[in-house]
Amino acid sequence: MSWSTLPPRGRSAAAILDELDALRARDVDWKSGRAFSLAYHAGPDVLALATEANARLLSANALNVAAFPSLRRMQSDVVGAIAGLLNGGPEAAGFMTSGGTESILLAVKAARKRGRERGITEPEMVLPTSAHAAFEKAAEYFGVRSVRVPVRDDWRADPAAMAKAIEPRTVLLVASAPQYPQGVIDPVAEIAALAAERDLCCHVDACMGGITLPMLERLGYPIPPFDFRVPGVTSISVDLHKYGYTAKGASVLVYRNRELRKHQTFFTDNWLGGLYGSSGVLGTKSGGPIAAAWAVLAYLGEEGYLRLTREAREATERLVAGLRATPAIRILAEPEATLVAFTVEDADTFAVGNALAARGWVVDQQKPPPSLHCTVNAVHGPVIDEFLSALRDALAEVRARGATGEQRAYGVTE
């Protein structure tokens, strides 16, 4: 039974932690690679370091980095490291945020503010249908109309169609590297060129790819340019709590320069409490995720991320080969990074997803079109064969029962 009021008396820490462990016993077993979504794992050493660094700064408050200069330094190191990976150069500037959603919210808010300075009062943004749901959240929160443009047959954004959707009140164009649903990289250079010609903001959502793609490039994979080397790109988001393998609550939003970044920050003295400034959506902000990110980046270094990226990519390739060898499974797009989407041609795709869930495997269920989605990370190397065999079992069961399934959502509220 859930609580309906405060427990009248406290209990021992040991008893509480026992109950906490009992509660989490039914959570998806992500450390064993059962989650092809939501959680990432680079091994017990990385997790232990992230946990310890997180604990040491958990109650420190990044709202005021003058009081916590440790957090100022660590944030600056982390932003510098990511800006460097993105070829940002000495002008690049950014902040850490609590996650991809906050990074995207702030990129949209900054574009809106820049547009307002140019007299645009009813702003719009032009983005492909594949861009993340967080842009719709930003549209609703900030009153920026979302103008969605259908992707091409290859699931990539269609720059020509986006160009036609641009209006005088457009403030922002969006590209993703890679986009979440089918795992392909949008033609960033063409979209950024449209933005540059019209002096618009161009945000590249590299929440998934911001670490993986630079590492794949170093490993010799052909990666189309998506970062600040592309003229016209004004900001890029990179989630550390995904392929940075750090603790939850960490993303980076980098701008090409400070002039662009200034539209993100907020200052007021219009209350009785004096001057108040903050970089992001949050006020009080735990130092834990900042410290964990700093520690994990320091621990892994480029060498570590190269290894983890190679492991994740090889697992992705083995998954794709196994799916290709499975009758009636169709992969939607050749994955350019580590995300794989596939559909089932002779049975209900979501029912297959539910049958996998009943076997302890979490994959995303998405539409349109109905498909299953795997975010493959370094933890999955040893379990790809097991997953493929669970998938074959799930397929057989759904075909035998003629089952149909309700879609399970990737984000849920209760």
Ligand X SMILES: *Cc1c(COP(=O)(O)O)cnc(C)c1O
The footprint of ligand X (CB under 6 A) covers: 99-101, 104, 132, 134, 176, 180, 205, 207-208, 239, 251
| Smallest gap from residue 205 Cβ to ligand X (A) | 5
| Smallest gap from residue 108 Cβ to ligand X (A) | 12
Nearer to ligand X, 2 or 413 (CB): 413
Question: How many other C-beta atoms are found inside a 10 Å radius of the C-beta of residue 84?
Answer: 14
**Residue at token pair 């269920």:** 365
| Smallest gap from residue 358 Cβ to ligand X (A) | 25
Nearer to ligand X, 33 or 99 (CB): 99
Query: Mind giving me the DSSP string for 380-402?
Result: GGGGHHHHHHHHHHHHHHHHHHT
> Rounded CA gap, 153 and 165, in Å?
18
| Smallest gap from residue 315 Cβ to ligand X (A) | 18
**Residue at token pair 């069961």:** 397
Nearer to ligand X, 211 or 394 (CB): 211
Nearer to ligand X, 175 or 300 (CB): 175
Query: Mind giving me the DSSP string for 159-188?
Result: HHHHHHH--TTEEEEEEETT-TTT-----H
| Smallest gap from residue 109 Cβ to ligand X (A) | 15
Structure tokens at 175: 């590209």
Nearer to ligand X, 63 or 337 (CB): 337
| Smallest gap from residue 176 Cβ to ligand X (A) | 5
Nearer to ligand X, 158 or 239 (CB): 239
**Half-sphere CA count of 262, side-chain side, radius 13 A:** 5
> Rounded CA gap, 180 and 135, in Å?
13
| Smallest gap from residue 133 Cβ to ligand X (A) | 8
Nearer to ligand X, 101 or 349 (CB): 101
Amino acid at 119: G
The residues, ordered by sequence, that sit 6+ positions from 42 with a Cβ below 8 Å of its Cβ are: 245, 296, 300, 304, 308, 377, 378, 379
Nearer to ligand X, 131 or 315 (CB): 131
Q: In what order do the strands lie in the sheet with 339-344?
A: 329-331, 339-344, 371-375, 364-366
Structure tokens at 105: 């919210």
| Smallest gap from residue 241 Cβ to ligand X (A) | 6
| Smallest gap from residue 68 Cβ to ligand X (A) | 23
| Smallest gap from residue 249 Cβ to ligand X (A) | 9
Q: Which residue is nearest to ligand X (CB)?
A: 100
| Residues across the chain | 414
> Rounded CA gap, 124 and 284, in Å?
30
Query: Mind giving me the DSSP string for 122-135?
Result: S-EEEEETTS-THH
| Smallest gap from residue 207 Cβ to ligand X (A) | 4
Give the closest residue to 208 by CA, choosing from 236, 229, 187.
236
Nearer to ligand X, 296 or 355 (CB): 296
Structure tokens at 359: 């076997």
Question: How many other C-beta atoms are found inside a 10 Å radius of the C-beta of residue 94?
Answer: 30
The residues, ordered by sequence, that sit 6+ positions from 130 with a Cβ below 8 Å of its Cβ are: 151, 155, 156, 157, 176, 179, 180, 181, 182, 186
